[in-house]
Amino acid sequence: MTYYDEISEGYEELHKEEQLKKIKLVADHLNVKKEDKLLDVGCGTGLTTESWNCKRYGIDPAPKLLEKARSKDKVEYKLAPAEKIPYPDDFFDIVISITAIQNFEDIEKGLKEIKRVGKDRFVLSFLKKSDKRDFIEELITRLFKVEKILIEEKDEIYFCS
């Protein structure tokens, strides 16, 4: 059982407020159209997925978090890790991953998968205090074209193409 499966009962109590703040900040800087297809990598309970007015998809490797996923009638959720995204190349207009990258088993492989399934709009955030911060920053700047970086209370948020 993963850490996130273990805390699934209280996950939103622990993280809801801070995640909603991040999504509002991202939404202020990301133009999402109704016809866009958006993938949320590391979607957890769907809190960061349901906020968007477009076609939404979410993946997460923690089955107990996905059991609690919101808006299941409006969002397609799949149990999958970032390193093996079950969608074809260039399928999504937008791919987001909010505060999840530092938890990927293989960060480089996960970011390459995000790039593979996305077209040209990516929002990638990770914990500033992560001991993997420098490695994640280096990978993002190598694999993506960074358009903007926002430094939030707990996260660094990269808007990329």
Give residue 74's pLDDT. Answer: 92
pLDDT digits (tens, 9 = 90+) for 14-63: 555 777 788 899 999 999 999 999 999 999 889 889 889 999 999 999 89
Query: In the predicted model, is pLDDT for residue 8 greater than 80?
Result: no
CB 51 within 8 A of CB 23: yes
For the chain, which residues make up each domain, given as ranges? 3-22+34-160
CB 52 within 8 A of CB 74: no
pTM check: above 0.75: yes
Question: Which residues sit opposite 149 in a β-bridge?
Answer: 158
Burial of 143 (0-12, 13-18, 19+ CB in 10 A): middle
Position 82: which residue type? A
Burial of 34 (0-12, 13-18, 19+ CB in 10 A): exposed
For the domain made up of 3-22+34-160, the CATH class stated in words is: alpha beta
